[in-house]
Structure 1
Amino acid sequence: VFILKGGRGGMGNEQFKSSVNIRPEESTKGKPGEEGDFSLELELVVDAGLIGVPNAGKSSLLNELTNASSKVGSYQFTTLEPHLGALSGGFVLADIPGLIEGASEGKGLGHAFLRHIKRTKMILHCLSLENTALVETYKIIRKELMEYDPALAEKKEVVILTKTDLVTEKELASAIKKIQKYNKDIFTVTVYDDVSVKKLNDGLVKILRAL
Structure 2
Amino acid sequence: CTDIKGCRTIPAIVWSSAATALACAWFAIHRNVPYPGQWWGFAQIEVVLVFVIALALPEWALAWSVRQWIMSRNLLGKLEENRKEMLKKIEEWTRAHAFFIISGGFFYYDHNGKPLYPLSSQDVLEHVLEGELVPPTESEISDRSKGSSASKLLAVLQTAYFVVQCIARLRAHQAVTNIEVMALAYTIITIPMYFFWWHKPLNVNCPVRVPMKPTEDTPETT
Question: Is TM (by shorter chain) over 0.5?
Answer: no
Which one has the bigger strand percentage?
A: 1
Q: TM-score, normalised by structure 1?
A: 0.24
Greater relative contact order structure (CA < 8 Å, 6+ sep) = 2
Which one has the bigger helix percentage?
A: 2
Q: TM-score, normalised by structure 2?
A: 0.24
Rg (Cα) greater in structure:
1
